[in-house]
Structure 1
Amino acid sequence: MTVPVRAASTVVLLRDGEVDLEVLMVRRNRALAFAGGFWVFPGGAVDDADRAQAGDDPDEAARYAAAREAEEEAGVSPDPADMVLISHWTTPVGERKRFSTWIFAGEVAPESKVVIDGSEIHDFQWVGVARALDLHRAGELPMMPPTYITLCAVARYDTAAAALAGEKETPCPRVLPLMLPTEDEGGFVTLYPGDAACESGDIQAPGPRHRAFLSGGCWCYQYEGVSEPALYPQD
C-alpha cells in the first residue's frame, strides 16, 4: 500500500535568554499516535488556506503554516517574512504516516507569552539550546532525530540574530533518511547519504558512517569518512 506524503511545517522559536540562546520546546499529548509524549517544535500540516495565501508556492505555504501553527499551538506569533528555512525532512519509506516537513527558525521577543492549546500540546518550556541537548542525553527530553539534529545545528550560535543570519547563509539540507532495524528489540537506525549501509542494507558493514542511532535512550549523530555534506557543521 502506498502511504501518502503529507506536507507539514514547523518552526524553531528562538529568544535571547539571560544566560544563553533559548528555544521553545512543546510536548505532544501522550495519547497521540504519532510522537506521543515527545518534545517537538510547534508545527503541523500545511492546509488549503496556507496554499492560497502563498499562491500555491509550496515553500511559502509551509512558511505560513509554521507561523500559523505556532500561534494555534503556543500562542506565539513569529513574523513569517523573517523566518529562515533550516532544513526539509521527508519521513522514511515504510512508516505508517509520512510527512514532507519544512523546518524554519524564527525569533520572538523575550517577553512573549506562551499559551498552549491543551489538546495536541500538553506542556512547554523555554530552555537553553545546549541545556535541551544535555537533557535529551540524560533521557529527560525524548525527541525524534530531526528535532535532535536541528538542535545540534542551532547550538553553535549565541544569539537568535546570529542563528537566523547563520542559517540563512547555510545550505538547506533536503533529507530522506533510510530507516533500518537494529539488533535491539524495537530499535532502529536512520541512515543519511554516504553511509555504507545505504546500499548494502547491513548496518554492520564496514565503511563510512552517516547515521543517527539510539544509545542509552538518546540519539547520537555519527559522521565519519563521508564525502556527502553533514546535516549540520562539524567541529
Structure 2
Amino acid sequence: MTNTSQPDGIPAATIIIFRNAPDGGAPEVLMTVRSRTMVFAGGMAVFPGGRVDPEDFELGATISADTSGAIAPDEAAHQVAAVRETLEETGLALGLAGDITAETAAAARAMLDQTGALAPVLDAFGWTLDLDQIVPFARWFPKNENIPRVYDTRFYLADLGTGAVDIAVDNSENTRLFWTSAQGALDMAERGEIKLIFPTRRNLERLALFASFEEARAQAKAIPVKTIVPQIDTSSGKPMLTILEDAGYPVTQELLETVARG
C-alpha cells in the first residue's frame, strides 16, 4: 500500500492555465472564485486545483514505476491531482491524450464526479496521461501554527493556445470561472472586485512578467522549484510577510496587516 501520510501539510496541486488573449494582448489565465462556505480560501479568487487524494498517490506510484523512476511517485501523484482537479472543476482535459472532444470531456467529467478517481476515467475513455503538457512552476507551503488546515501546494503551468473551448463551473467548491490577464486580476483586486490570498497575489505578480506562455515556461525551467515558506520579518519596525528572494518573484514582501488570510 502506498504511504500517503503527509505530516507537514495537506498535499495539493493546481494548474495555472494559459490561453492566448482574444485581443492579442497579454496572455490570460483561468481563475475561479471559491465558495464562501469553503474552509480554505472561502470567497477568494484562486487557480483551479485541490488536494491530492489517495487514488492520485496510487496512480502516481504506477506512473513512476512505468517510467523506471524518471518521475518520482510523489511528484507524479501531484501532477495526476492537478490533471484530475482541472477536469473536475473546469471541464478542461489538460495533461491527457486520446480521442478528446467537447463531448467526451463532458462525459469524462461527469464520470469523474461519480468515481472521484482519474484511473477509471482513463480506462473508460481509452485516454492516457500526457504529463509533458504541464510544467512545474512553484511550491508554496505557508506553515502557520494558528491555521488548522495548511496546504503544501505545487503549482504547474499549462497552455490552451487559442483557448477556444467551453468551461463550466462545478457549482460546489467554486462559484465562478473567468479568464483574465495576470495584471488584470491584480487590478480587479485593487478595485475590490475579487479577493486574493498572499500566494495567489505573489504568483499573479510573477505571471504578469510574461508576454507569452513560452516566456513563463522558459523561466519555470530555468529556476528550480523551491518550497516557499513565508516568514514574518520585523526588522523594519513593521511586521512584513516575506518569501525567498531567488524564486522568480518580483515582489517578495508585504505588510502583514494587509495580507488576506485564507
- TM-score, normalised by the number of residues in structure 1: 0.75
CA contact (8 A) 1:32 1:120 kept: yes
**CA gap 1:92/1:218 in 2 versus in 1, 3 angstroms:** closer
**CA gap 1:49/1:212 in 2 versus in 1, 3 angstroms:** same
* Mean Cα deviation higher: 165-174 or 152-161: 165-174
Alignment of 1:63-82 (within 5 A): 63-79=79-95, 80-82=131-133
* Cα offset, 1:189, TM superposition: 4.7
CA contact (8 A) 1:13 1:24 kept: yes
CA contact (8 A) 1:92 1:179 kept: no
Query: Higher relative contact order by CA 8 Å / sep ≥ 6: 1 or 2?
Result: 2
Match of 2:169 in 1: 116
Match of 1:106 in 2: 158
Q: Deviations over 1:97-150 (max 9, x none)?
A: 111110111112411211111000110110112211111222222111111111
Name the one with the larger helix percent. Answer: 2
Match of 1:175 in 2: 228
Q: Deviations over 1:197-216 (max 9, x none)?
A: xxxxxxxxxxxx9522367x
Name the one with the larger strand percent. Answer: 1
Alignment of 1:140-219 (within 5 A): 140-178=193-231, 189-193=240-244, 210-213=252-255
Match of 1:24 in 2: 30
CA contact (8 A) 1:84 1:164 kept: yes
* Cα offset, 1:26, TM superposition: 0.3
* Amino acid in the other structure paired with 1:99: Y
* Cα offset, 1:83, TM superposition: 0.9
The CA RMSD measured in Å over matched residues stands at 2.4
| SS of equivalent residue, structure 2 residue 14 | strand
5+ long unaligned stretches in structure 1: 182-187, 195-208, 220-235
| SS of equivalent residue, structure 1 residue 26 | strand
**CA gap 1:213/1:105 in 2 versus in 1, 3 angstroms:** farther
| SS of equivalent residue, structure 1 residue 190 | strand
Say whether 1:11 aligns with 2:15. yes
- TM-score, normalised by the number of residues in structure 2: 0.68
Structure 1: how far apart are the matches of 2:209 and 2:8?
35
Q: Deviations over 1:65-103 (max 9, x none)?
A: 111101101111222322111111112221111111101
Structure 1: how far apart are the matches of 2:205 and 2:144?
25
* Amino acid in the other structure paired with 1:190: L
Report sequence identity in percent: 26
Structure 1: how far apart are the matches of 2:214 and 2:31?
19
5+ long unaligned stretches in structure 2: 1-6, 62-71, 96-130, 246-250
Structure 2: how far apart are the matches of 1:161 and 1:132?
20
**CA gap 1:210/1:164 in 2 versus in 1, 3 angstroms:** closer
Say whether 1:48 aligns with 2:54. yes
| SS of equivalent residue, structure 1 residue 54 | helix
CA contact (8 A) 2:90 2:170 kept: yes
Total equivalences in the alignment: 196
* Cα offset, 1:31, TM superposition: 1.3
